[in-house]
Copies of this chain bind each other. A is one copy, B any other.
Amino acid sequence: MQPEQQLQALKNRLAEISDINHAAALLEWDQQTYMPPGGAENRGHQLATLEQISHEKLVSDEVGRLLDDLQPYVAQLDPDSFEARLVKVTRRKYQIKTRVSGEWVADAALANTAAYNAWGKARAENDFASFRPHLERIFELKHQYAGFFAPYEHVYDPLIDIYEPGMKTTDLKAIFAALRPQQVELLRQIASRPQVDDSFLHLDYDEQKQWDLGVELVTKMGFDWKRSRQDKTLHPFTSTFGWGDVRITTRLFPNYLSSSLFSTLHESGHAMYSMGSDISLDRTPMIGGGSSGLHESQSRMWENLVGRSYPFWQHFFPRVQELFPAQLGNVTLDAFYRGINMVQPSFIRVEADEATYNLHIMLRMELEIALMENQLAVRDLPEAWRSRFQEYLGITPPDDANGVLQDVHWSNGLVGYFPSYALGNLIGAQLWEHIQADIPDLQDQIRRGAFSAWLSWLHEKVHQHGGKFEPQELIQRITGSKIDPAPYMRYLTQKYTEIYGL
């Protein structure tokens, strides 16, 4: 076969794999949205079968041969070309999947299912002891997983690499070591100032109107509903079923305006990123985004950098007042802005504000690294959680349900995922400084409800590339430096200095 034919053969196989993965994604979406309870067992089998087929097709001898044969051909192409990147990204996935033994995959699936069931019960009953053996097994398996990638610089590297291609533990440690004391200090200063009022966000808000408001906002921001839709789920998420179909979900609370509003903004940011991939990336492994952290940078930009900014509400607050005159008619724009940006250390990560969120993440990441380095034992985890929580956030969780047991991630076998959440905040702020430098009147544009220049910038610099570049590589290209926590600290400091009069 000529290289062109080999490339076509590879693309055909990858297109099939993409179809199967997107079909599986739809099955998962349906599981969270519309599936009747009786469907759970069938759905489990269907997902396992599709995953198995997708796996077999990727690790096949045919794909391995095509990747090897194409190596000399792509070596002489522009390394940024579609073809060179396709082979590079596929080779990476192929190598990861082929290194891990089938036996480990089966063991991990069993351990995760058992751990997930035990976790639900343990959290409800505030009983870490019953969850402990499962968590020990999870981390035992993670050590085995890392072993497949030996030699490594750091035992945590193979775990992060799943979510942040190319990212190293050394990088993370450097980034967060610089950031943590500054965030702790900022929080200390905020806590010393009088608290702002957000009681007006906790009144009765009609759910349909909340839904309509979220839809109206993201529509005006340029969201493409022809390729999307929104549904209700217990936990909001975004799912990609191909270039033409990327869906979001939200959740509504009758007594809390912020929840659905900012979750719709957040998920729209994810979806705009996925929908923004160049169409040539469709049905390849490069569709949808470069890493979990890059994705989170986009969602947090919609949610926070834009969605919790003063100019944004200069434009939209009158409309929100119009929709909810009884609740917000007497609230000023400034009071509303302060309310949605209230800082309040709390125990639960998913409810955390912008100033405390990263502290929740750093705590988890540091504990994960300590567990992987065998510096910490699972049995000592609850105490380590409590003491670190007190140190970073100034409060101590009353129990493990509000502490070490709160997140589903570990029980699902997700270790190495948490850093992406914090990286997303940093990347978002770093991009945000560059956008503002490139579009000097951006704040005025937002004040006028004009979002097209901002979105065009994101599309050109970030979205269109999908997964062609690794996160550090992409950020370096755009900003001239690697991921850097300084812009985020500048952003937080400026914002809260203003709001809390620091």
Residues of A within 8 A of B (CB): 15-16, 19-20, 22-24, 26-27, 30, 34-43, 45-46, 48-50, 53, 224-229, 231, 241-245, 247, 282-283
Contacts and interface: CB of A to CB of B under 8 A. Distances in A.
A30 B26 contact: yes
Contact of A36 (B39, B247, B282): B247
For the complex of A and B, list the 3 residue pairs with the smallest distance between their C-beta atoms, beginning with the closest. Answer: A42-B242, A39-B245, A38-B227
A38 B245 contact: yes
B19 A50 contact: yes
B283 A43 contact: no
A56 to B, nearest CB: 11
Contact of A244 (B41, B242, B247): B41
24 contacts: A15-B45, A15-B49, A19-B48, A20-B46, A20-B50, A22-B42, A23-B46, A26-B26, A26-B30, A30-B30, A34-B34, A35-B245, A36-B247, A38-B227, A38-B245, A39-B227, A41-B242, A41-B244, A42-B241, A42-B243, A42-B245, A42-B283, A43-B245, A46-B242
A229 B224 CA distance: 29
Contacts of A244: 36, 38-42
A17 to B, nearest CB: 9
Contacts of A224: 38
Contacts of A40: 244
Contacts of A38: 224, 226-228, 244-245
Q: Mostly helix, strand, loop or mixed at chain A's interface?
A: helix
B23 A242 contact: no
A332 to B, nearest CB: 39
B23 A50 contact: yes
Contacts of A36: 225-229, 244-245, 247
Given A38-B245, A46-B242, 6 more contacts: A26-B30, A34-B231, A39-B245, A42-B241, A45-B242, A45-B283
A18 to B, nearest CB: 8
A36 B41 CA distance: 27
A377 B261 CA distance: 62
A136 B225 CA distance: 40
A224 B15 CA distance: 39
A23 to B, nearest CB: 5
A463 to B, nearest CB: 16
A224 B36 CA distance: 10
A19 B39 contact: no
A27 B23 contact: yes
A284 to B, nearest CB: 12
B242 A39 contact: yes
A40 B38 CA distance: 28
A19 B20 CA distance: 12
A247 B42 CA distance: 14
A283 B46 CA distance: 10
A243 B26 CA distance: 19
B49 A19 contact: yes
B42 A282 contact: yes
A34 B245 contact: no
Nearest to A228: B36
Contacts of A37: 226
Contacts of A48: 19
Contacts of A227: 36, 38-39
A230 to B, nearest CB: 10
A296 B39 CA distance: 24
A34 B41 CA distance: 23
Nearest to A40: B244
Contact of A27 (B15, B26, B43, B226): B26
A407 B108 CA distance: 52
Contacts of A283: 42, 45
